[in-house]
Structure 1
Amino acid sequence: MHTVYNNYTSKPETAKCKGSIITSELQSSRAMVFAIEEINNSTELLPGIRLGYQIYDSCASVPVAVHVAFQFLNSFDPVFYTDSKCSQSGMVVAVVGESGSTTSISISRVISSFNIPQVSHFSTCACLSDKQQYPSFFRTIPSDQFQAEALAKLVKHFGWTWIGAVRSDSDYGNYGMASFLEAAQKEGICVEYSVSFHRTYPQSKIQKVADVIRRSTAIVVLALASLGDMRALLEELSREPSPPRQWIGSESWVTNPELMRYSFCAGAIGFGIQKSVIPGLRNFLVGLSPSQVAASEILTEFWEDAFNCTLKKIPAADKKVCDGTEDIQNLQSQYTDTSQLRITNMVYKAVYAIAHAIHNTVCQGKNATAKCDKLTKLESKQVLTELKKVNFSQNGYDVSFDANGDPVAIYELVNWKKNKSGITEIVTVGLYDASLPAGQEFQINRNITWMEGRMQVPVSVCTDSCPPGTRKVLQKGKPICCYDCTPCTEGEISNTTDSTDCLPCHKEFWPNAKRDICVPKPVEFLSFQDILGIILATFSVLGACLAIITAAIFFHHRTTPIVKAHNSELSFLLLISLTLCFLCSLTFIGAPSDWSCMLRHTSFGITFVLCISCVLGKTFMVLMAFKATLPGSNVMKWFGPPQQRMTVVSFTFIQVLICTIWLLLSPPFPIKNLTTYKEKIILECALGSQIGFWAVLGYLGLLASFCFVLAVLARKLPDNFNEAKLITFSMLIFCAVWITFIPAYVSSPGKFTVVVEIFAILASSFGLIVCIFAPKCFIILFKPEKNTKKYLMNKN
């Protein structure tokens, strides 16, 4: 609009437009005329009734648009002409337009009070779907609400989570961006910046918007801007090119060929209205006669601009007079280009929708049988009522309106591609149909060429995706798309990319090295394949073999004095019990089972008590033997062989009784130890009853202590083969081993608990056999001269 500053001393001038004609809008207005003429020549739609029209230029300005609205509202005329001519000032029953959402809002607020329906071909603001505020507004182009959701799904589809956004500072841009930001938030998309501008802003403000785009880290830029605003922004960006940017456009500019001269936008994608075909329209557009052109100021201006000549008889200084040789057929202009009929088809459908509403009001029947009452005075309210119900198909395109006055949302996904000649073309690569079920609305059927001619989808994220095995941790003070990738904590995994949480593994599973899957924990126990198991089993067998060899030596030399002198019966019983002690350690090796758990503890307890009982019996024998040498002493008759056997059996029976009670009440059982080590399972035997276990050890310790005390008392008794000293030393080793066993057993983790127990068994067993029997075997085998009764009785 041409701005005029009034001094209020004279009547203000009528608002005027300035600048050049938008040829695409001129094509739309001519398409309206074409549609009306088609309807007037139709024998099926409104037969016998002719539609009239007036076309106004609003200059895309609210003041002019409101002025125009009042202008045609004041044209009411009570006179109804019945002759063949149309009324020169008849009542307006419907309005086609406006192109911009802001101007449509201003017109709708004026004419809705008069129930005059308004059908827009290019106003997409979602706010216009509010029937409480705009009850008479309809449109043939989908609402921005659908486009915003489609754009958010498009951005999500290509994995962009970090984008920039620019918009027109108008109802179209502001409402559209609000809808997009809401949809983007649901899709997990972050917007680095969202700035608004308008072509009427000072150049410095538009430059600031361009600088924001240049400095941003987001590769993808979404533009919800009108054609004029977008032209102003791209012009500014062309002065100082920014780093490569992937543009996403709304239907208002992304299908307009005028902007394709900005080559840095090549690769842009966006949604456009479906491309369509209107038969006969091109012939109508190029079939302008000189009289038609001369009769219209707009067509005259277009003609003079297109051919750089003047229709005035007196030529201008820089223009020649049009001589009639101008060829509009071959004119390269948006006006004559019908290869991309998108918005033009929306005008065409809007005119037909109004015609069908009028037809349903004044005519009865359809097609060739329709009869219309030309004399009926038509009310705009009737047309408004019928417009809500229209549902027809024209040239294969369905036309209908929902409760909000909106059509079904169908968009084409378009891509700006450079052809072999280097010329940018608009190519349809996909489709979006909002009427399809969720997840099926979006389809891509052709390859997309991206910015700088790339074939790979550009990456636009604030932070690279977090791989499996990590989780996203938001960076303080930044959007949710900016995060750090933190490895999952011990015992947890994440098996998806960009996981926000790590999941704990089942108690019998543990994460792998990458922490992206749970694998079964390794099962650990002291097996015969382990090095420790092999070593301990070897020593156990060697110990048993040593006891058997010792028993064989004693049996072979059973008649010798040294064997007879030290109670051969108890010695053989002791060697048998030691053999069992060595062998019982084998029960601790291997995977625990119900029987092995019960056997290992009870066999250990019973065999060692049997062993200590024999040692205790031998110690008694030494003490009693010397006590019996005193005059008048008859002690030995109370501690002969039967009593010795009874003592050993009694002491052992008590341990058998303790073990039996333990097994009956709460026996040991195998368990999976999941607490000692988090990353592996320890198979071990639970004690069942702690009291039972410590009772077995306690009783064993009591006998060992008693035996140790007696051995100490007998250690200085005169004897060339003083067995009491040997027993004392062996019991010292025995007690030392088992005293140190207790803290070692309690503190050892996992299978090492079993290792400690086996070691204690073997160490104490070797201590007994070496200390008690090694000196005697040495005498028997290597010092036979000392194995005599004479040497044995020598007190010196």
Structure 2
Amino acid sequence: MAKLSWQHHSRGRRLVSTSYFILATLTLLFSWSCPVLGKKKLYIGALFPMSGGWPGGQACLPAAQMALDLVNKRTDILPDYELELIHYDSMCDPGEATKLLYDLLYTEPIKIVLMPGCSSVSTLVAEAARMWNLIVLSYGSSSPALSNRQRFPTFFRTHPSATLHNPTRVQLFQKWKWTKIATIQQTTEVFTSTLDDLEQRVKEAGIEISVRQSFLTDPAVAVKNLKRQDARIIVGLFYETEARNVFCEVYKEKLYGKKYVWFLIGWYADNWFKIKDPSINCTVEQMTEAVEGHVTTEIVMLNPETVRGASNLTSQEFLAQLMSKLGGKNPEETGGFQEAPLAYDAVWALALALNKTVGPLKAKGRRLEDFNYNNKDITAEIYRALNTSSFEGVSGHVVFDAQGSRMAWTLIEQLQGEQNKSHFMIYFPLKTVRYR
């Protein structure tokens, strides 16, 4: 009896063991099939410059990830899909970006869209993308050259072209009755293209450009020439770092005060002239004196209205969440902090556009997950959806023109008394709507 009892017990153990084996096998098979039965992943290939000339990825990457997290939690936007970001540091360098673009394109999984940052990298990516039938959506590219639809047929950007506000600038020149201006520019493609367009427009308006100066890295000679040729109204086009160099030289040459007007075209953080910069030998007090009264014309990158847009966040709530994600870093020392709303809204523009394509694709017997680099039909649907984008974002109303560039507000500011600024906003095309 003992033997029979042992055999029965052993058989029972074998039966239990077999049951566990079958259960484990079914569980494994089920887990393999989960991606098919559950949410399907769509991949975004992104380049965020964490270093280099414009380290915008430092704030733009966290902002994009914030948007992705919210999109993936929504049940009314792409409910059957999950968006995932595959990103690299382009260092804002076209050479580095070439290698990274190759990795993105020739390494699984397939990416459904590309998201580059700075203009020089976007130019490279957008020109190559047509060969892979890929849409390119940039969050930080301002080069006017990127508005060429023949050269960049699948390119969109949530950052407006730098020439978008030139008509507004010319109207300001006319309003202030300027008949003669001088220019000084940093010799990079974005400022060269912007100035070429501006020169044509001021010529048509009967305004003369009496002095033209440019510099690559050191503005000392160019500023001295402005002084020598008695320039009084000076339009400057340069990045923030170069602006500090320019105004340090402006202080040395005494090219400021009531006799002079500086009108700047570029992208500047608040108190940009107070940021510690080892490349200049001027004090904060000297810089503050030199920049007094200067005028800037910039795009509005943060919605001034307290509205809840597509993401259900106000712009101020977005900023609070971004600050938390940055872990207390100083915004003025974090690259891309100003442009972060544009990166956030770029992800939302993409998500809403992809969501809009699901119905039309289904009618054709296609799905987003069917996309590959030879599939022009799915690309065409995504293009149509992005082309008709219109929603409220944390950067303002998001809509693209015929060249795929963002339409946006112009913020015109004058520095008065160190920190106090008088400013008003104009929405393209040239309708004054708000004074502050």
Q: TM-score, normalised by structure 2?
A: 0.71
* Paired position in structure 2 for 1:97: 116
Matches within 5 A, 1:199-238: 199=217, 203=218, 206-238=219-251
Q: Distance in 1 between matches of 2:120 and 2:56?
A: 19
Matches within 5 A, 1:347-426: 347-362=343-358, 376-377=370-371, 381=379, 382-394=381-393, 397-418=396-417, 423-425=418-420
Q: Distance in 2 between matches of 1:337 and 1:18?
A: 8
Letter in 2 for 1:429: H
Query: Which of 409, 424, 429 is residue 430 of structure 1 equivalent to?
Result: 424
Please say if residues 185 and 215 of structure 2, whose CA atoms lie closer than 8 Å, have aligned partners that are also in contact: yes
Query: Which of 289, 292, 315 is residue 278 of structure 1 equivalent to?
Result: 315
Shift of 1:411: 0.9
Shift of 1:363: 5.4
Q: Which runs of 5+ in 1 are unaligned?
A: 1-16, 78-89, 289-298, 300-327, 366-371, 447-796
Please say if residues 116 and 125 of structure 2, whose CA atoms lie closer than 8 Å, have aligned partners that are also in contact: no
Letter in 1 for 2:213: V
Letter in 2 for 1:405: G
Query: Which of 118, 126, 145 is residue 108 of structure 1 equivalent to?
Result: 126
Shift of 1:443: 6.3
Q: Deviations over 1:724-768 (max 9, x none)?
A: xxxxxxxxxxxxxxxxxxxxxxxxxxxxxxxxxxxxxxxxxxxxx
Q: Deviations over 1:76-123 (max 9, x none)?
A: x3xxxxxxxxxxxx2222223322x33322221122322222222332
Q: Distance in 2 between matches of 1:258 and 1:24?
A: 16
Q: Deviations over 1:301-328 (max 9, x none)?
A: xxxxxxxxxxxxxxxxxxxxxxxxxxx5
Residues 374 and 137 of structure 1: is their aligned pair in 2 closer, same or farther, counting only changes over 3 Å?
A: closer
Please say if residues 26 and 335 of structure 1, whose CA atoms lie closer than 8 Å, have aligned partners that are also in contact: no
Larger strand proportion, structure 1 or 2?
2
Query: Which of 42, 54, 79 is residue 86 of structure 2 equivalent to?
Result: 54
Matches within 5 A, 1:726-737: none
For the pair shown, which has the larger CA radius of gyration, 1 or 2?
1
Identity level (%)? 19
SS in 2 for 1:352: helix
Letter in 2 for 1:44: D
SS in 1 for 2:426: strand
SS in 1 for 2:413: strand
Shift of 1:134: 0.9
Q: Distance in 2 between matches of 1:96 and 1:113?
A: 16
Please say if residues 165 and 191 of structure 1, whose CA atoms lie closer than 8 Å, have aligned partners that are also in contact: yes
Residues 39 and 373 of structure 1: is their aligned pair in 2 closer, same or farther, counting only changes over 3 Å?
A: same
Q: Deviations over 1:394-418 (max 9, x none)?
A: 3593322222112334212122233
Query: Which of 267, 270, 286 is residue 293 of structure 2 equivalent to?
Result: 267
Q: Distance in 2 between matches of 1:430 and 1:403?
A: 27
Q: Distance in 2 between matches of 1:255 and 1:181?
A: 26
* Paired position in structure 2 for 1:164: 182
Shift of 1:429: 1.5
* Paired position in structure 1 for 2:195: 177
* Paired position in structure 2 for 1:680: none
SS in 2 for 1:44: coil
Please say if residues 56 and 117 of structure 2, whose CA atoms lie closer than 8 Å, have aligned partners that are also in contact: no
Q: Distance in 2 between matches of 1:387 and 1:19?
A: 29
SS in 1 for 2:425: strand
Letter in 1 for 2:344: Y
Please say if residues 24 and 335 of structure 1, whose CA atoms lie closer than 8 Å, have aligned partners that are also in contact: no
Residues 241 and 95 of structure 1: is their aligned pair in 2 closer, same or farther, counting only changes over 3 Å?
A: farther
- Equivalent pairs, count: 354
Q: Distance in 2 between matches of 1:238 and 1:96?
A: 40
Larger RCO, structures 1/2 (Cα 8 Å, 6+ apart): 2
Residues 27 and 361 of structure 1: is their aligned pair in 2 closer, same or farther, counting only changes over 3 Å?
A: same
SS in 1 for 2:315: coil
Q: TM-score, normalised by structure 1?
A: 0.41
* Paired position in structure 2 for 1:334: 332
Letter in 2 for 1:402: D
